[in-house]
Amino acid sequence: MSGGADERDAADPLAAYRDRFVGAEQPLVYFDGNSLGRPLKVTGPRLARFVEEEWGGRLIRGWDERWFDLPRTVGDDLGRIVLGAGPGQTAVGDSTTVLLYKLMRSAVAARPGRTELVIDRDNFPTDRYVAAGVAEECGLTLRWIDVDPAAGVTPEQLAAVVGEQTALVVISQVAYRSAWLADVPELTRIAHDAGALVLWDLCHSAGSVPVALDDAGVDLAVGCTYKYLNGGPGSPAFCYVARRHLDSMTQPIWGWMGAVDPFLMGPTYAPAEGIRRFLSGTPPIVGMLAVQDMLELVAEAGMSAVRAKSVALTSYAVEVADEVLAPAGVVLASPRDPAQRGGHVTLNHPLMREVTAILWERDVIPDYRDPHGLRIGLSPLSTSFAEVASGLEMVREVLAGLTA
Ligand SMILES: *Cc1c(COP(=O)(O)O)cnc(C)c1O
């Protein structure tokens, strides 16, 4: 087994954060915080208090007192702490899928006469499916970018497909399979040079990779809060709409919560001012509470320290994989250069589907992604170097057992 994990944990300035998560004291190895983050220990008691005091105590008054504004206030906190977004441009609600639909439709409507929507073939399924649905609904053509599944969209590839017909470009900042870290400012500039809008999916970057939406001139972004933001299963997603678009863009799901005066209950819909118009129905308040807890923790640690730990963890995983797994035929399917890699590492081997099933039984929890990829997610604040070492050692053992 590759050495150095204990020394790395001892030298890690963020090591103590791990104890703030439920289950940290157990031997289980969790390599899937990029699919569902662990809960924070403060979240259980906080939810219980919410039920007793706010929901149970304030009852319907809670909406006036605090809940009504939470989609915007939690959105502003998200913007400030993890997205590089000034206030008034981020809102929380719906799911990523629904927000993708709403923002794609908004963008297409804002580029009338343009006939193409650009997306890459290795984008997350929901992004591709929603894009296909919007294209069909609006009579657009999908223009696909073919990418290397062990990498992601490059500036050259994007420049080759955008043009005067492009209405919208949809890309993930961190590719869910390979962890390829896209060049947000450069790709945004290329889309803009063609007169197109760009929608970034931040599901695999928010809370793990620094994002600078305002600085990069991004138009639109969405992301979920249950991966690196530890909001829990089904916690609400977020959307970002750049200030310059807020007055002119509308969205297709006209609900009362996004209307100018929800409690007027008037005969017709008129959109609210600002980012609130991107809401539709009653937002999931309970699902935002755990996100607030995690945002507080990320603010305390600082996004740049979180990224530094993330790079150290993925680099260590690559090093250990090179040493103990490559001899067994395992191939790295993520960028080697940490500057081009997000918070996870994918390792390919023809037997990884079988390996994953056995690992889960042994309390080592990675994810499996076709074709034969073992995805090692390393949530920076809740994962230790010792976990990386023992988890990858278990991968070696299981593979050896299967090929013996
Ligand atoms: C996880 C993920 C989603 C999830 O969408 P939901 O609507 O929350 O199910 C969407 N896009 C990407 C890129 C993801 O990684």
Render pLDDT for 10-20 as a digit per residue (tens, 0 to 9): 999 999 999 99
pLDDT above 90 (res 100): yes
The active-site residue out of 124, 176, 228, 278 is 124
Cβ-proximal residues to 303 (8 Å cutoff; 6+ apart), any chain: 81, 82, 210
DSSP, residue by residue, 66-108: TGGGHHHHHHHHHIIIII---TTSEEE-S-HHHHHHHHHHHHH
Residue 277 corresponds to which tokens in the numbers above? 């118009």
Cα separation of 260 and 269, whole Å?
Answer: 8
Cα separation of 100 and 164, whole Å?
Answer: 23
Per the annotation, the verdict on 72 as an active-site residue is: no
> Percent of the chain, pLDDT > 90?
97
Domain 5-30+302-403 has CATH 3.90.1150.10: yes
For 53-69, what is the mean pLDDT? 97
Among 56-65, 261-270, 280-289, the minimum mean pLDDT is found in 261-270
- Check if 280 has its Cβ closer than 6 Å to any atom of ligand 1: no
For 311-320, what is the mean pLDDT? 98
Per the annotation, the verdict on 227 as an active-site residue is: yes
Which of 5, 4, 2 is CA-nearest to residue 385? 5
What pLDDT, in 10s, does the model give residues 341-370?
Answer: 999 999 999 999 999 999 999 999 999 998
Q: What are phi and psi of 221, to 5 degrees?
A: -150, 155
Taking the centre of ligand 1 as the mean of its atom positions, its distance from the CA of residue 263, in whole angstroms, is: 32
Taking the centre of ligand 1 as the mean of its atom positions, its distance from the CA of residue 203, in whole angstroms, is: 6
Cα separation of 39 and 231, whole Å?
Answer: 7
CATH of domain 45-298: 3.40.640.10
- Check if 367 has its Cβ closer than 6 Å to any atom of ligand 1: no
What pLDDT, in 10s, does the model give residues 112-161?
Answer: 999 999 999 999 999 999 999 999 999 999 999 999 999 999 999 999 99
- Check if 172 has its Cβ closer than 6 Å to any atom of ligand 1: yes
Strand partners, 222: 201, 239
pTM of this structure: 0.98
> Helix/strand/coil (H, E, C) string of 295-328?
HHHHHHHCHHHHHHHHHHHHHHHHHHHHHHHHHH
pLDDT above 80 (res 82): yes
Domain ranges within the chain, ordered by starting residue:
5-30+302-403, 45-298
Which of 204, 180, 240, 187 is CA-nearest to residue 126? 204
- Check if 183 has its Cβ closer than 6 Å to any atom of ligand 1: no
Return the half-sphere exposure (C-beta side, CA atoms, 13 A cut-off) of residue 380. 30
Cα separation of 275 and 258, whole Å?
Answer: 9
**Angle between the N-to-C axes of helices 385-403 and 303-320, in degrees from 0 to 180, rounded to the nearest 10:** 30
- Check if 238 has its Cβ closer than 6 Å to any atom of ligand 1: no
- Check if 229 has its Cβ closer than 6 Å to any atom of ligand 1: no
**Angle between the N-to-C axes of helices 303-320 and 286-301, in degrees from 0 to 180, rounded to the nearest 10:** 80
pLDDT for 1 equals 42
- Check if 173 has its Cβ closer than 6 Å to any atom of ligand 1: no
The active-site residue out of 38, 102, 111, 227 is 227
Taking the centre of ligand 1 as the mean of its atom positions, its distance from the CA of residue 176, in whole angstroms, is: 9
What pLDDT, in 10s, does the model give residues 182-227?
Answer: 999 999 999 999 999 999 999 999 999 999 999 999 999 999 999 9
Taking the centre of ligand 1 as the mean of its atom positions, its distance from the CA of residue 48, in whole angstroms, is: 28
- Check if 124 has its Cβ closer than 6 Å to any atom of ligand 1: yes
pLDDT for 3 equals 58
Angle among Cα 20, 24, 26 to the nearest 5 degrees reads 155
The active-site residue out of 21, 101, 226, 240 is 226
Q: Indicate the average pLDDT of the chain.
A: 97
Write the residue with the smallest CA distance to atom 14 of ligand 1: 203
pLDDT above 70 (res 71): yes
For 281-291, what is the mean pLDDT? 96
Write the residue with the smallest CA distance to atom 13 of ligand 1: 124
pLDDT above 90 (res 169): yes
Q: Let me know if the fold of 5-30+302-403 is the same as that of 45-298.
A: no
pLDDT for 265 equals 87
For 306-312, what is the mean pLDDT? 98
Cβ-proximal residues to 6 (8 Å cutoff; 6+ apart), any chain: 385, 386
Which of 155, 238, 242 is CA-nearest to residue 203? 238
